[in-house]
């Protein structure tokens, strides 16, 4: 026992702890930056009001101007924005925001002849500011992911073993993988910045729970875990965890965006709030549905391999491939849940909200398999250390 304790390098263990707290703080800053981007970004209020009024304009130019001038008197406190109205003869007339919106065929510009909005997405100044905040958020996420990576590495150096031998180390590594996968997708040119908010939120919550509820000092593993299969089996489970979390995020956002689009189509949604801007920044609901499906379909073979690798390791350690231990049982239940989801998508044509419900159930099974079993049920896989 003394030799095992002497083998622990407390200096690197302390460095790992500092890095975990640093990563959590930077993830929190990144989350706040993404929240600011979602709140203040999207289409500007002027552009949205102009587009909505222009779509409804059916009266003549003279009548529209007369009606709009009356409204403009009551709205003098609103900011003045210059607009250009193109007439039938090709000439242009500069009118106030509301007048031009009522007149129809509006190109909204800011003072200084800034470029008009493109594809209905915010005025130039507002979107540029939101984009700048979003870029800062991505930089912070990258920094936090690297700090998390260094925390995992130094934890492994401190104990001279793979740094995922208990629930604390597993959680820190999963947050690292999820954030690095997100950064890798961005580096590959994928338009997935919309995932930054939930990814960083999950990282903050995950690391927060890890340091407050799961933390144990760096120590040696129980004899059953001294195997090269620890590198293969547990690392596969961690990669699956990070990716399945991303798939669940896409499913949750799909449901939210689908509800928003449905209400908007029925005219039940007002387009003048920050939450409307946030929804407009998300991809279309069909795109989110495809993202969820593709992520889960990509990860499913890896989860299958992870279960098989665990069975091989169990035979080497305990002499049996499968004993229906609680962790083994819930790993199989998780596999069945995702298999049902993929089968329903491929054969029954289940898409949209029905498919999203299956994703929620399957991911809940994964969470219980990874955490619930270790916390609430005693078994051969109870290595949580809490």
Give 82-107 pLDDT, tens digit per residue.
444 444 444 444 444 444 444 444 43
pTM, two decimal places = 0.73
Question: Binning pLDDT at 50, 70 and 90, where does residue 380 land?
Answer: low
Is the pLDDT at 370 greater than 50, yes or no? yes
**What value does the mean pLDDT take over residues 266-286?**
75
Burial of 214-239, coded b for 16+ CB within 10 Å and e otherwise, reads bbeebbbbeeebeeebbebbbbbbbb
For residues 94 and 277, the model is more confident at 277
CA distance 210 to 23: 13
3-state secondary structure of 196: helix
3-state secondary structure of 217: coil
Out of 15-19, 136-140, 226-230, 265-269, which region has the weakest mean confidence (pLDDT)?
265-269
For residues 274 and 255, the model is more confident at 255
Question: Binning pLDDT at 50, 70 and 90, where does residue 382 land?
Answer: low
Residue 162: its pLDDT value, please? 87
User: In the structure encoding, which two tokens stand for residue 326, read together?
Assistant: 């609680």
Residue 12: its pLDDT value, please? 93
Residue 271: its pLDDT value, please? 62
3-state secondary structure of 96: coil
Is the pLDDT at 204 greater than 90, yes or no? yes
Residue 96: its pLDDT value, please? 43
223: Cβ–Cβ under 8 A, 6 or more apart, which residues? none
CB neighbour class for 345 (10 Å; exposed up to 12, middle 13-18, buried from 19): buried
User: In the structure encoding, which two tokens stand for residue 261, read together?
Assistant: 């689009």
Mean pLDDT of the chain: 78
Residue 383: its pLDDT value, please? 60
Residue 373: its pLDDT value, please? 87
Give residue 284's region: left, alpha or beta (phi > 0; psi -120 to 50): beta
Is the pLDDT at 233 greater than 50, yes or no? yes
Question: Binning pLDDT at 50, 70 and 90, where does residue 56 land?
Answer: very low
Helix (H) or strand (E) holding 92: strand 92-95
Measured in whole angstroms, how far is the alpha carbon of residue 355 from the centre of its chain?
A: 19
CB neighbour class for 314 (10 Å; exposed up to 12, middle 13-18, buried from 19): buried
Is the pLDDT at 171 greater than 60, yes or no? yes
């Amino acid at each position: 026992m003394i030799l095992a304790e002497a083998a622990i390098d407390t200096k690197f263990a302390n460095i790992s702890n500092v890095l975990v707290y640093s990563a959590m703080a930077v993830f929190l800053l990144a989350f706040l930056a993404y929240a600011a981007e979602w709140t203040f970004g999207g289409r500007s209020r002027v552009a949205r009001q102009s587009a909505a009024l222009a779509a409804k304009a059916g009266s003549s130019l003279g009548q529209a101007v007369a009606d709009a001038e009356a409204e403009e008197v009551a709205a003098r406190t609103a900011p003045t924005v210059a607009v250009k109205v193109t007439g039938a003869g090709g000439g242009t007339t500069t009118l106030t925001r509301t007048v031009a919106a009522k007149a129809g065929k509006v190109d909204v510009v800011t003072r200084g002849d800034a470029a008009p909005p493109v594809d209905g997405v915010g005025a130039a100044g507002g979107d540029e500011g939101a984009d700048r905040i979003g870029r800062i958020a991505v930089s912070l996420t990258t920094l936090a992911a690297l700090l998390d990576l260094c925390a995992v590495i130094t934890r492994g150096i401190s104990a001279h073993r793979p740094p995922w031998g208990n629930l604390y180390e597993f959680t820190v590594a999963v947050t690292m993988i999820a954030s690095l996968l997100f950064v890798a997708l961005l580096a590959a040119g994928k338009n997935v910045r919309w995932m930054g908010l939930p990814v960083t939120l999950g990282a903050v919550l995950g690391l927060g729970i890890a340091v407050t509820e799961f933390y144990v000092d760096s120590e040696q593993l129980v004899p059953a875990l001294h195997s090269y299969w620890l590198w293969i089996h547990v690392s596969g489970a961690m990669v699956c965890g990070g990716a399945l979390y991303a798939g669940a995020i896409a499913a949750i956002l799909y449901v939210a965006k689908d509800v928003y689009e449905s209400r908007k189509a029925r005219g039940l949604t007002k387009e003048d709030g920050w939450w409307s801007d946030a929804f407009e920044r998300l991809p279309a609901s069909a795109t989110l549905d495809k993202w969820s499906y593709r992520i889960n379909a990509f990860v499913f073979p890896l989860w299958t391999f992870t279960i098989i690798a665990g069975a091989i390791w169990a035979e080497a350690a305990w002499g049996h491939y499968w004993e229906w231990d609680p962790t083994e049982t819930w790993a199989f239940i998780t596999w069945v849940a995702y298999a049902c989801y993929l089968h329903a998508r491929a054969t029954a044509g289940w898409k949209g909200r029905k498919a999203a419900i299956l994703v929620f159930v399957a991911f809940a099974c994964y969470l219980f398999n990874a955490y619930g079993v270790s916390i609430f049920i005693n078994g051969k896989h109870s290595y949580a250390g809490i």
